Structure 1
Amino acid sequence: MHHRHLNHQRYTLAAIDDVIERGRMRDWLELRDAARRQPELFDMIVRVCAPRLSNPYAQRHHFWNNYARWRRAHVSQPTRPD
């Protein structure tokens, strides 16, 4: 996805917000895959979504906030030996 007002393709806070706000499914899958490779992106996603959570109609941001928090919780938990 070519981001508005950005001259690079890195996942900065502005780029993440743009993907969430205007992205299509393919863009969302790319962000998901990038965040799985670089878990610090989940923190950035939560940070981007925070200001919009007071708006119940910002459903994309609610979705991404919940997904990022869920992934952070599950990735950071140590696995138990059987």
Structure 2
Amino acid sequence: MPSTAHRLSLNNYPLAIQAACQGEGIALGWSYLVDEELASHRLVRPLSNALSTEYGYFILTRPGNMERTEVQSFRDWALRHSPLSREQ
């Protein structure tokens, strides 16, 4: 993943989601825990595809952040390294 000048790393799920809602970056989330944030557009899913697994993983970010180079770079990195990408 590309190096960036500003990094925020959280190991607390609620804090990570809150930080993403406040525009501090992106977070991996479970849809059943962020449905309200997605419905209210406080968060968006920057990936158009989803993995069919026993557990779902989503990359979430604040609306408008998709244009940021860092978000696009992370999205591209995650897609390159996802099992779905390797199966195609």
Structure number with bigger Rg: 1
The answer to whether TM tops 0.5 is no
- Give the structure, 1 or 2, with the largest relative contact order (CA under 8 Å, sep 6 or more): 2
Larger fraction in helix = 1
Instruction: Considering fraction of residues, name the structure with more strand.
Output: 2
TM-score range, shorter chain: 0.3 to 0.5
State the TM-score, normalizing by the size of structure 2.
0.32
